[in-house]
Structure 1
Amino acid sequence: MMSTKTKVAQRRLGKSKMKISALGLGCWQFSKGQGFVGRFWPDMPQEDINDIVKMSLEGGINWFDTAEVYGKGQSEQALGEALTNLNVPEDQALIADKWWPLMRGSYSITSTIDKRIEALNGRTIDLYQVHQPFSLSSVKAQMKAMAELIRNNKVRHVGVSNFNEYKMREAQQVLQDEGYFLASNQVKYSLLDRRIEKNGVLDAAKELGITIIAYSPLEQGILSGKFHKNPELISNISGPRKYSSLFKPSGLRKTKPLVELLEQMAEKYGVSETQIALNWLIHYHGNTVVAIPGASKKHHAKENIGALQFILSDEDMDAIEQASRKVARF
C-alpha cells in the first residue's frame, strides 16, 4: 500500500468536511489523445501517468480532477488504473469528476453515473460537477438530479464548472432546498485571466462559502516563462493550444513584464516562475481559490508540488497583483 511522504496544509472543500490540498492534479492530459477534447494533448503511456500520480501523492496532493469528456472516458480510466496500480486508499486520493451536459438533459446525470464509476475502477466520486452551463435542462433540474446522486450514495459532493454568478447562486439555492450545498465552481483563472474578480463569481463564492477551482492556472505553460526565453519551443507544441494568441509574438511581448517579475521572484525564493504563479493563485484570496495544474511529464508534477512548500509575502503578492493587472483579462 502506498502512503504519502509529504504533509502539506489542507483546506475544506466549500462547506464540506472534506479536506483537500490547495493544489489538485488536473487530468485532462490523461486523455490518451482521444476525442475532440483529448486531441489537445498527445497520447501518454500509462506508465508515465502512474509515475505522475505517484509523485503527486507523495508530494502532498490528495485530489485529482478528471471528466467524462476528457478522451471520452480515457482520462477517468487512466486515473482509475493508476490509483489501482499504486494501491492507494480512497481517502488518500479524492476524485473530482465532471458530467458533460451538451445536447443532454438532467436525466443523463443519474443514468450515466454508473458508467463514470466503472471507468474509475469503482472508486468513489468525491465531487461531481456539471462541466458546462449548456444543457437541454434547467439548472434546477440538474441540481435536483445531483441531489439524488448524493442521497443514493453515488457521489459525495456537488460542484459546477464555468457557471456565472447568477447560475452559481441558483445552483446553490436549489441544493440548499434539497438539504445540501454547492461545494465548488471550476472556472478559468490565472494571473492572465482575472475575469471572475469583476463578473461577480469570486465575490459570490466568498459570500456563499463556495470553493473556486482554477483551471488553466498557468495558461498552457505561458507563465512558466520558457516560451518567452525560447519562442522556438512553440513550434514543438502538439495540438491546437499553440494557436492561442498568448503564443503569438504580440502575446509574448505583452506578457513579458509579468513573466520577468515572476522570474525575479523565483530567484528571490529559490523556486521557479511556475511555482510563484501557482503560489500567488492559491494564497492571494485566502482559502477560497484552489488550482488544478496538469502534468504531462514527471518534472511538471515536481513543479506543482514545489508550489505548496512556501508562501509569498504579502508585499510580493501585491507586487505580482499590480504587474498582473496591467496585462490580464478582466
Structure 2
Amino acid sequence: MNTLSKTAPKIAPKIALGTWSWGAGFAGGDQVFGNHLSDAQMQAVFDVAVQADLNLWDTAAVYGMGSSETALGAQIRRHLQSHRRDSLLISTKFTPQIADAQSATPVADMLAQSCERLGTDSVDLYWVHNPTDLNRWTSQFVPLLKSGKIKGFGVSNHNLEQIKLVNDTLAKAGCRIAAVQNHYSLLYRASEHAGILDYCQANGITFFAYMVLEQGALSGRYNSQNPLPEGSGRAESYNKVLPQLQTLTDAMQQIGARHQANAAQIAIAWAIAKGTLPLIGATKPQHVSDAAAAAAIVLTTEEIATLERLAEQTGVDTKGAWEPEMA
C-alpha cells in the first residue's frame, strides 16, 4: 500500500500560479521576462488570487537565486497572519545544479533554505527540477515525505523513461510520484506524444503544464507590430516567430469571442481540456482573473481540433535548451 496515500496533497485547483517572474537577477524575471515587479504589484496579484480561490503557488530555489521564494514568502507570511496554513498549497523545487556538493543531505538542505525564505515549515509539493544526475537524488526525498516536511514529490523536465525510473525507485520505499511538471502548450505537445500524459492519468499523477502561453507569445497581446520586450530572454526566443503564429493567435481570438474570452484564456482552457493543470505566470491581477475565468470555459471538440491543426501548421518548435527529448 502507498504509505503516502493519506499525506499526499489533494490538488484541487484547476490552475496553478507561477512566480518565476517575481525573482530578480540570475534566472530571474527581469532577465528572462523583462519584468520588474514592485512589492505592491506582487501583493495585488496575490490578493486577487486569494479572492478567486486560486491557492496553488509554484516557485523554485533557482528563480532569481532565491529572490522569487523570498518575494512569495513575504505574501505567504502576510496571508498566514489571518489564515490557516492549509489555505495555501506551496510548491517549490530542488535544482541539482545549485546543490551543495559538500553536503551529505543536499536535498534536505535546499528544502530548509526554501522553507525559511517561504515562511513555512513544510511544502505541499517538492520537485526535482530536472534530470541532472538522474535518480541520484530520489532516495533523499523519501525521509522528507515520511516526516511530512513535504506532502508530495514531483519531477520536472523528465521524459517518460526517466519518470518511470524515479517512480519505480520510490515504490521500493513505499512512496510514489504525485506530480509531473513539463513544458506543454499548443506549440509543444511532446509530453502528450511521448505518452507521459497517458502514464500520469493511469497512475493518478497530476500533470502540471508550464509555458502554456509560451511566455506570452500565445497570449494574443504580441505580434510583429507589438513584439515582446526587447532585451529579455523571451523576446530573443519568440519575436522572430511571431509572424508564423499570427494565424493561430487570430483563430484563438475568434474562438475566444464565442466564449467571451481572450486568446490567453483559450490557450489555458485548451490545456485544461487535455487533462493537465496549467501553471500560469502571475504578474498582473488581470492575468489571475483571466486564468480563473478560463477554468470555466468548455471548448468543443471542433475548436480543439482547429487549434491543434493551426498550431501544427505554424512549424514552430519551442523546445527549450534545458529540456530532454521526451520520446
Quote the Cα distance in structure 2 between the aligned partners of 1:268 and 1:142: 48
CA distances 1:82-132 after superposition (whole Å, capped 9, x unpaired): 122233422221011001101646831022321111111125300000011
CA distances 1:55-92 after superposition (whole Å, capped 9, x unpaired): 11211212000000011111111111112223342222
Quote the Cα distance in structure 1 between the aligned partners of 2:118 and 2:169: 28
Partner of 1:116: 114
1:277 corresponds to which of 251, 259, 267 = 267
Checking the alignment, whether the CA contact within 8 Å between 1:189 and 1:214 is kept in structure 2 is yes
The structural deviation recorded for 1:17 is 5.3
Quote the Cα distance in structure 1 between the aligned partners of 2:211 and 2:246: 18
Q: Is 2:248 the counterpart of 1:255?
A: no
1:303 corresponds to which of 286, 290, 294 = 290
Q: Matched residue pairs, number? A: 305
Checking the alignment, whether the CA contact within 8 Å between 2:207 and 2:277 is kept in structure 1 is yes
CA, structure 1 residues 235+129, in 2 after alignment: closer, same or farther (shift >3 Å)?
closer
1:276 counterpart letter in structure 2: I
Checking the alignment, whether the CA contact within 8 Å between 2:28 and 2:68 is kept in structure 1 is no
Partner of 1:49: 42
Quote the Cα distance in structure 1 between the aligned partners of 2:248 and 2:143: 46
Over the aligned positions, Cα root-mean-square deviation in angstroms equals: 2.2
Partner of 1:189: 184
Q: Is 2:204 the counterpart of 1:209?
A: yes
The structural deviation recorded for 1:37 is 4.0
1:79 corresponds to which of 72, 77, 81 = 72
1:312 counterpart letter in structure 2: L
Quote the Cα distance in structure 1 between the aligned partners of 2:181 and 2:121: 22
The structural deviation recorded for 1:236 is 3.5
Identity of aligned pairs, percent? 27
Checking the alignment, whether the CA contact within 8 Å between 1:97 and 1:125 is kept in structure 2 is yes
Written as runs of structure 1 = structure 2, the 5 A alignment for 1:119-134 is 119-134=117-132
Quote the Cα distance in structure 1 between the aligned partners of 2:285 and 2:209: 21
Partner of 2:169: 174
Partner of 1:40: 32
1:35 counterpart letter in structure 2: F
Quote the Cα distance in structure 2 between the aligned partners of 1:178 and 1:320: 43
| Contiguous gaps of at least 5 residues in structure 2 | 320-327
TM-score by length of 2: 0.87
TM-score by length of 1: 0.86
The structural deviation recorded for 1:159 is 0.2
Quote the Cα distance in structure 2 between the aligned partners of 1:218 and 1:242: 14
CA distances 1:227-249 after superposition (whole Å, capped 9, x unpaired): 12xx34326445221011x311x
Quote the Cα distance in structure 2 between the aligned partners of 1:165 and 1:52: 35
CA, structure 1 residues 166+247, in 2 after alignment: closer, same or farther (shift >3 Å)?
same
Checking the alignment, whether the CA contact within 8 Å between 1:26 and 1:293 is kept in structure 2 is yes
Q: Is 2:280 the counterpart of 1:293?
A: yes
SS at 2:227 equivalent: helix
Quote the Cα distance in structure 1 between the aligned partners of 2:146 and 2:187: 40
Runs of 4+ in 1 over 6 A off after TM superposition: none
2:36 counterpart letter in structure 1: D
Quote the Cα distance in structure 2 between the aligned partners of 1:113 and 1:222: 33
Partner of 2:300: 313
Quote the Cα distance in structure 2 between the aligned partners of 1:318 and 1:235: 28
1:102 corresponds to which of 97, 108, 116 = 97
Mean Cα displacement is larger for which, 148-157 or 193-202? 193-202
Partner of 2:139: 144
CA distances 1:280-302 after superposition (whole Å, capped 9, x unpaired): 11112x3xx11111022222222
The structural deviation recorded for 1:225 is 1.6
CA distances 1:198-217 after superposition (whole Å, capped 9, x unpaired): 23322322332222111111
Checking the alignment, whether the CA contact within 8 Å between 1:50 and 1:86 is kept in structure 2 is no
| Contiguous gaps of at least 5 residues in structure 1 | 1-12
CA, structure 1 residues 235+16, in 2 after alignment: closer, same or farther (shift >3 Å)?
closer
Quote the Cα distance in structure 1 between the aligned partners of 2:62 and 2:244: 33
Quote the Cα distance in structure 2 between the aligned partners of 1:29 and 1:127: 19
